[in-house]
Structures are given as structure tokens and as C-alpha cells.
């Protein structure tokens, strides 16, 4: 950590009566009544979140250069920096939620609690706006939200003002969002095929290869029409994707009848059949 020390002199002036004095405020510091320069704050925050360097380790690194940084003070600075970023975070959230199509997912994250050695599992919810593949020139964006658990109330709160198409997995916590009709579900093929792919990776068979090739055909169609006008995409989907989707559904239904209910492939197919019908939402629309 390379540090440059900057000395700022703020002279006090005293009234001739001796009862009043004044002193100019610290120059250009983002945190009130703090000596932390913006460059130092930026270095601490980037090191913590981008480089995964804990505050105590940053303190040790600074000490090697003769700079004393108290981890407790650094922790307060990080919290105050987060507060300073609230306006930017809210602007990013509004921009991400602005279009009529959104991608959503969540992922577990280990969380440390004071006084406990073991971590617990929190959730990071990710919402993505990206229509560049549909020909949009609007900038893509990602907004993250944290929750201590995976209850459905969290995405329902995050998406309270959103109206349009939501592309997500089959997580039941999203179901209440679709009841009013303001949010329409579009299934995600990455999630729909993942368990079949997992079975194929472990024990490849002719059946897993065949169904993955059928699903891959949908990916191929989308690759061909990527960036094309909405009307053209819709036309191609109606002509090619709709019949292929029907073929995939028939294949899965027929294959399921021949498998043991407890087999891994049967479980994977049952999971995949849920979003197959919902995938038609995308095929009926060109802007998606």
C-alpha cells in the first residue's frame, strides 16, 4: 500500500473580545468530522470488496509502510461510504427495473455473525437488465439485493413496482408475483435443462444425448436471430421454435412413461417439464 501524507493547515481566528472563534472546515472530505481522504476510502473499499482483503489485513499492510489504520475506524468508514452510495444504488435499481423484461436469480452466500464460529446461509438476489441481444442500445445493468433467507417475500418486495416479463427459474417464491397478471413468467432454459445435463455428465446415455440435442436446437435458433428486429425474431420463433418445443415436450412425456419414478433422469425430466409450457411466453413475443 503506497501512501502519501497531505498536511492541511486550518488556522483559527479569534474575535477581539476573546469569546468567539472560527475555523474553516476540512477541505473536500466526504465523511463529516473525519480525516479520511477520498483516495484512502476508495482504496479501502476496493481492497475489501474487489480484492477480498479484510480490514485487519489492510491495517497490517499499511503498518508495514508506517501508516497506522485502526480496523474499527476503517469499519465505520466503510459503513459511511455505503451510505454515501445509497443514491447511486437507488439510481441503479430504478434503471435495472425500468424495462419490460427482467432476468432474476438467487444464490447462497455464507454469512458470518458476531460471536459465532460457524457461518449461516444468506441469499444474494440478482436482477439483470440486458436487451442487447434483442437489438437494444440501452446499457445493460445488474442490481443485487441481500436477504438473510430465501423467503418469497424478498423477491416480491424487490419487484413490487415492476411490470412485464420475468425470466427466472421455477422457484416457488416467484409464484405470487404472477397472480396479478402484471408480471408474466418466461421460463429459463438454462435452469430447465441443468438437471438433465448433470445426469448426462455423470452417466451419459443415448436418451440424455438426444434430449440435450433437441434443446440445443432452440439455442441454435436463438443464436441465428440474435440482434434481429423483433418482428423477424417472432416470425422465426413461430415457424421453427414452436414446433421444436412441442417435439421436446412430447419426447419428455413419452420418455418419462418408460422410466422408474425414482431414477435421476426421471426426476430431471419432471423438473424440466414444469417450465416447458411457460417457455411459450418467449416464443409468442419478439422483443424478448
Given 186, 212, 239, the domain boundary residue is: 186
CA dihedral (23, 26, 30, 35) in degrees, to 10, reads: -120
**Spatial separation of the C-alpha atoms in residues 212 and 106, rounded to whole Å:** 25
**Spatial separation of the C-alpha atoms in residues 96 and 128, rounded to whole Å:** 7
Q: Which domain holds residue 45?
A: 26-84
On whether both 64 and 97 belong to a single domain, the answer is no
What pLDDT, on a 0 to 100 scale, did the predictor assign at position 202? 96
On whether both 150 and 177 belong to a single domain, the answer is yes
On the 0-12 / 13-18 / 19+ scale of CB atoms within 10 A, 14 is: exposed
Tens digits of residue pLDDT in 221-264: 989 998 888 888 889 999 999 999 999 999 999 999 999 999 99
Given 67, 84, 101, the domain boundary residue is: 84
Tens digits of residue pLDDT in 178-190: 999 999 888 788 8
What is the pTM assigned to this prediction? 0.77
Tens digits of residue pLDDT in 70-128: 999 999 999 999 999 999 999 999 999 999 999 999 999 999 888 888 999 999 999 99
Residue 35 has pLDDT above 60, yes or no: yes
On whether both 195 and 245 belong to a single domain, the answer is yes
**Spatial separation of the C-alpha atoms in residues 46 and 140, rounded to whole Å:** 22
Q: Is residue 19 part of a domain?
A: no
Amino acid at each position: 500500500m503506497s501512501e502519501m501524507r497531505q498536511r492541511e493547515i486550518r488556522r483559527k481566528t479569534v474575535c477581539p473580545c476573546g469569546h468567539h472563534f472560527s475555523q474553516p472546515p476540512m477541505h473536500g472530505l466526504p465523511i463529516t468530522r473525519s480525516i479520511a481522504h477520498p483516495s484512502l476510502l476508495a482504496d479501502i473499499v476496493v481492497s475489501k470488496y474487489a480484492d477480498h482483503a479484510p480490514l485487519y489485513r489492510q491495517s497490517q499492510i499499511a503498518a508495514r509502510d508506517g501508516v497506522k489504520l485502526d480496523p474499527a475506524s476503517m469499519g465505520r468508514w466503510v459503513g459511511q461510504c455505503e451510505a454515501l452510495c445509497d443514491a447511486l444504488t437507488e439510481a441503479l435499481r430504478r434503471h435495472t427495473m425500468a424495462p419490460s423484461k427482467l432476468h432474476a436469480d438467487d444464490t447462497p452466500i455464507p454469512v458470518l455473525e458476531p460471536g459465532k464460529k460457524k457461518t449461516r446461509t444468506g441469499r444474494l438476489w440478482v436482477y439483470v437488465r440486458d436487451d442487447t441481444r434483442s437489438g437494444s442500445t440501452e446499457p445493460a445493468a445488474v442490481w443485487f439485493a441481500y436477504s438473510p433467507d430465501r423467503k418469497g417475500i424478498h423477491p416480491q418486495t424487490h419487484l413490487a413496482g415492476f411490470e412485464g416479463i420475468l425470466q427466472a427459474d421455477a422457484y416457488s417464491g416467484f409464484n405470487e408475483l404472477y397472480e396479478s397478471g402484471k408480471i408474466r413468467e418466461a421460463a429459463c432454459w438454462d435452469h430447465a435443462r441443468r438437471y438433465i445435463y448433470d445426469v448426462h455428465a455423470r452417466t451419459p446415455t443415448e436418451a440424455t444425448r438426444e434430449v440435450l440435442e433437441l434443446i440445443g436446437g432452440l439455442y441454435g435458433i436463438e443464436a441465428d436471430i440474435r440482434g434481429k428486429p423483433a418482428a423477424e425474431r417472432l416470425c422465426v420463433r413461430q415457424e421453427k421454435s414452436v414446433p421444436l418445443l412441442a417435439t421436446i415436450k412430447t419426447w419428455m412425456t413419452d420418455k418419462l412413461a418408460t422410466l422408474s419414478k425414482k431414477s435421476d433422469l426421471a426426476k430431471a425430466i419432471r423438473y424440466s417439464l414444469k417450465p416447458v409450457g411457460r417457455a411459450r411466453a418467449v416464443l409468442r413475443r419478439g422483443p424478448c
